[in-house]
Structure 1
Amino acid sequence: MDRRLLAALPLVLMIGCNADADGDGLSNKEESELGLNPDLADTDGDGLSDGDELEVGSDPLNSDTDGDGLLDGDEILNGADPTQADTDGDGYSDRDEVFAGHDPADADDVIYIGGWPYYYDKESIGNQHGGDNATPGKRFRRFTFPDQYGDTLDIYDYYNEDDLYVLIDVSAEWCGPCREMASWLDGDNGTFMTDYGYNPVRKAVKQGRMYWITIVGEDDFGNGTQPENAVAWFNDYPNPKVAVLADREQEAKDYYALGAWPSVLILKPNLKVDAFSRSNWTTALDRALEIAEAAPATPTAE
């Protein structure tokens, strides 16, 4: 062999080892050692090159490093950290914030000021419900009402896969028992709710093992309620775990076909009505008590 070719062979071999066939900033040798495809700049197809993934700390073999449902490349495009499911620490995942049109890197830009849950795929639920009135076994109607913070709350955001049930009461400003229930929910033990043994339900709500929504269905004059009525109710009973909603057109009152105030129903995590009676509020709360006592509790004050 020509001595000149022999002399050049080590250089050729070195260039081959350091070559970057896919142009992602990593040599073929580095990609092979990391289990990456040296012929693909983006091995996991998440929109972020293998070299960039190593630079930002994400996994080039996992398209969603932090498991928040948003591709690593999309996280970078939206100013989020692909290694943190909730970049700004505001309680909402990066995916949810992007889907809802909020900034995943700004803790002050939240989906709901009240911290209510958010379900990114609620459009897939549709609006299948049990007709004109709430019916056990049928999906609850999709309502949107203004809350005590001025946000418009979509009831279908409470759809969840975490086995969390949802209690929804319809109350009235003029209704004494409604106010007594709200006072109990806010921590008052001197009410009929404590006498009935429902404190474990309140504890479950406080600990986030169950959701509670209050719809103020009538004002003091029997009319529909405005956002200021929801604010006033919350000021009287400032429970941060309870979304208080105004119902301008009294839609919930009509949907419940109320036979008693307050009226309470409980929804399964898939938002199908689990228990409800138009003539009393105990049917739903008895069921809620069963669930609360069966679910694991944490040792905090009631």
Structure 2
Amino acid sequence: MSEGTKAVHEMLVRVRQVRWEAAGVVSVEFSSPDGRQLPSWRPGAHVELALPTGIVRQYSLCGSPQDRSSYRIGVLRERAGRGGSEYVHTFLRPGQPVRLRGPLDNFGFRREKGYLLIAGGIGITPVLAMAKQAAAWGLPWQLLYGGRTADSMAFLDELRAHGDNVRLYPKDRAGRIPLDEWLEKPRSGTAIYACGPEPLLTAVEERAAHWAPGSVRLERFRPRPKPTRPDTEVEVVCARSNRTVVVPAGRSILGALEAEGLPVTGSCREGVCGTCRTRVIDGEPDHRDDILTAEDRAAGDHMYICVSRARGERLVLDA
């Protein structure tokens, strides 16, 4: 079970509505065919959408966690992508059945004294739900939202309803988000949550490096470039299955366990989606994902087995 002790739901849903939100962006709402409430979720969570073509893609939920009658995602059309967004834009229509898995949560949105939310492009989807939750809690928050043009920025009508809490930075009119201005002075008790393209997230990390540890939480669309690390053979003990698998160099732990028929799951296989999250019972993980914070890595009690390995010769996993 990829979320430790938390169940991950697999469900058949129907498309309830498809709506244009901006140039190249649609929102899609899903509901249960029998009208039942959908599983609960927190801001920052995402679902895996299994398309009829066999493509599986992860999309952040951007509706209201209080409304469990439907899920809503936002999808940017990427014509040079791998086909998922193209299918959503071209073929998904109201009434169509599709399969979802989740909700899965890498962001870990928590109640804080205040929030500085930063979004770039389609990265607004998880951040929109966070803004709604912060407003519902009555806590101070500010959202900085950047995009190429105003026409390309989704959910503007919803955001404008929050007045001065939202600052819009369409690049063609206002330039880039002035991160130096917003991040120069650390704010005690304020958490930064950011999602968007890699240059924005890298800049947020750099500009907020002097903030208190744990202040910054990011979600990436794709793995960061990393130096190649040599792999060595590792013995993986799967405690729940009472099996031991020797994972050779050059093969992922996830791939080796799958080949042995063990109960593990994976989707992106790049260390960004969180599907293969696995509890570590013993041993020291060599974390290579783009999800865990420095504090999470130091704890060493969970790992993403699609990319991460071991610092020693043996790991004991809850698998």
- Shorter-chain TM-score above 0.5: no
In the superposition, the TM-score normalised over structure 2's length comes to 0.22
Larger radius of gyration: 1
Structure (1/2) with the larger helix percentage: 1
Hey, which of these two has a bigger chunk of strand by percent?
2
